Amino acid sequence: MDLIKSIEREQMKKEFPTFGPGDTVKAWLKVIEGGKERSQAFEGICIKRGNSGLKESFTLRKISGGVGVERTILVHSPRLAKVEVVRHGAVRRARLFYLRDLVGKKARVKERRVNVAK
């Protein structure tokens, strides 16, 4: 088992921002169209974090054209170019699936003030 973990550790990203459910996150994903590669941003509320190690993932949810869109992204994927935390949300649950049933202003998450020491 140590051999598998050591191989996985080599493929893991070293730096990754700290965020959790309720936080609004912008993830840039590498998209290949034809022969060209470009970065595409997906911004939404993190509704869950899952797994650990190389299989670690998070799910973002946003409303696009009146339709809810969810995307599960692997943290250590080579397709994930960059992740930026836009704002921190004040929630008391680890899984925010109740947001799927809410629309409009009720689907908002209150902002949590975070002191960032530089």
Domains and CATH numbers, the chain: 24-105 (2.30.30.790)
| pLDDT, tens digit, 9 for 90 and up, residues 26-70 | 999 999 999 999 999 999 999 999 999 999 999 999 999 999 999
Q: How, if at all, do strands 24-33 and 80-87 pair?
A: antiparallel
* Helix (H) or strand (E) segment spanning residue 70: strand 67-74
Burial 89-116 (b: 16+ CB within 10 A, else e): bebeeeebeebeeeeeeeeebeeeeeee
- Please give the share of the chain, as a percent, with pLDDT higher than 70: 98
Structure tokens at 74: 């692997």
Q: Is the pLDDT score of 118 beyond 70?
A: no
Share of the chain above pLDDT 90, in %: 86
Q: Which two tokens stand for residue 101?
A: 């049933």
How far apart, in Å, do the first and last CA atoms of the chain sit?
39
